[in-house]
């Protein structure tokens, strides 16, 4: 006959086992809040991307946590990045929404940045292409005419990294130019070209299509080159959103009759890999719990297949597709895999010619 004590022990063991099983089955994010940290003010492209993710991500994460957006603008996202790697919780409850330009700032060791590329693990990205154009007042018919010498070009810039595609493209083509910084944003640099303060300007491809293309059609602006996309084989190809515009590579080959090489070309390819594919990038601490990473990756895989998310994200992605998994990893590796000599060349060029300051100690 089983004693009362034995029955109590058996019952207690069963309850404990049930509680342990229930605890083990509880989703990692159940009852938690996930914060998306954005290094820009509300209203910009990166912020819009973050807020679309905010609206949909929670319902796809097992446990359906609350998802919030926190804006921390300053220094092209460096302020937010420093906070994220130095002070933010590393338990998977805060994610960083950055840009490819931020990744390049970190990789270069821009003064004031405390982050390392290895601090971040990318989860998903929304790419963005860029197009460089010139005022028709220059009297050129196409990009090859840039190589003929003539007057010094003036590039209106909202900051060196904001114009890195234009600056490195012109440098690769060995064009005589000078960049004038201090403009508040890209809208102001376009106005500067229209007013004659600058002769060259670069815009994202969606802005080019919506705002600059009409100026091309009326004859006041001439497209020069697109930054281009890097395909799965590591080749620079035309921007799918502006397929009629040649890449810098095509212009170079047309004029020089050969493939470019050397540190300027390697730097151009590395920055293109980072700033195009990872135009807007969602990242997590590299040492966050693996359970958190697995839950987020599963949620993102589900979210990007959700028709409601696809419809809502179309505007913030401006016509491009989400990058995930191997495609995203390959793009990041193409950027961070730049050789030390090429990276040193890029630092030297940006510091000596454009006043950027770096701390590589």
In this structure, are residues 278 and 328 in contact, taking their beta carbons and an 8 Å threshold? yes
pLDDT value at residue 12? 55
> Which residue range is the domain that position 75 belongs to?
33-127+278-323
Domain co-membership, 153 together with 239: yes
pLDDT value at residue 350? 96
pLDDT value at residue 332? 81
Domain co-membership, 137 together with 209: yes
Domain co-membership, 201 together with 181: yes
pLDDT value at residue 1? 44
Q: Is 358 exposed, middle or buried (0-12, 13-18, 19+ CB in 10 A)?
A: middle
Domain co-membership, 134 together with 264: yes
pLDDT means per 10 residues in the chain (361 residues)? Answer: 50 54 75 96 87 96 97 93 97 96 93 94 93 93 76 91 94 93 88 95 90 95 94 88 95 92 94 88 97 97 95 78 85 83 96 91 58
| Residues whose CB is less than 8 angstroms from the CB of residue 9 and which lie 6 or more positions away in sequence, other chains included | none
- State how far the Cα of 200 lies from the Cα of 178, in Å rounded to an integer: 10
| Residues whose CB is less than 8 angstroms from the CB of residue 258 and which lie 6 or more positions away in sequence, other chains included | none
pLDDT value at residue 21? 47
- Inside any domain, residue 356: no
**What CATH number is associated with residue 105?**
3.40.190.150
Tokens of 145: 């005419």
Domain co-membership, 88 together with 190: no
pLDDT value at residue 341? 94
**What CATH number is associated with residue 260?**
3.40.190.10
pLDDT value at residue 3? 53
pLDDT value at residue 13? 55
pLDDT value at residue 193? 96
């Amino acid at each position: 006959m089983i004693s009362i004590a034995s029955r109590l022990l058996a019952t207690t063991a069963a309850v404990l086992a049930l509680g342990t099983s229930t605890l083990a089955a509880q989703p990692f994010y159940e009852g938690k809040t996930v914060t998306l940290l954005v290094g820009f003010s509300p209203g910009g492209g990166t912020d819009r991307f973050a807020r679309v993710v905010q609206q949909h991500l929670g319902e796809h994460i097992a446990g359906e946590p609350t998802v919030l957006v926190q804006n921390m603008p300053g220094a092209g996202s460096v302020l937010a990045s420093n906070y994220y790697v130095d002070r933010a919780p590393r338990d998977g409850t805060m994610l960083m929404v950055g840009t490819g330009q931020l990744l390049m700032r970190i990789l270069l060791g821009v003064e004031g940045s405390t982050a390392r590329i290895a601090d971040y693990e990318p989860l998903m990205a929304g790419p963005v292409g860029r197009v460089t154009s010139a005022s028709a007042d220059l009297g050129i018919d196409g990009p090859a005419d840039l190589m003929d010498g003539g007057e010094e070009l003036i590039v209106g810039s909202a900051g060196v990294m904001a114009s890195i595609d234009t600056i490195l493209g012109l440098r690769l083509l060995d064009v005589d130019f000078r960049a004038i910084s201090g403009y508040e944003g890209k809208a102001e640099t376009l106005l500067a070209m229209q007013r004659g303060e600058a002769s060259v300007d670069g815009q994202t491809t969606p802005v080019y299509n919506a705002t600059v293309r009409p100026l091309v059609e009326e004859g006041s602006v001439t497209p020069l080159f697109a930054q281009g996309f890097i395909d799965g084989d590591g080749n620079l190809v035309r921007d799918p959103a502006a397929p009629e515009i040649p890449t810098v590579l095509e212009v170079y080959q047309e004029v020089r009759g050969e493939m470019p090489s050397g540190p300027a070309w390697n730097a151009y390819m590395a920055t293109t890999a980072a700033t195009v594919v990872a135009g807007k990038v969602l990242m997590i601490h590299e040492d966050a719990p693996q359970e958190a990473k697995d839950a987020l990756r599963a949620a993102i895989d589900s979210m990007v297949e959700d028709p409601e998310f696809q419809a809502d994200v179309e505007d913030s992605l401006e016509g491009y597709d989400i990058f995930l998994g191997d495609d995203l990893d390959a793009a990041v590796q193409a950027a961070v895999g730049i050789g030390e000599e090429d990276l040193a060349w890029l630092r030297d060029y940006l510091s000596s010619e454009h006043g950027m300051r770096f701390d590589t100690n």
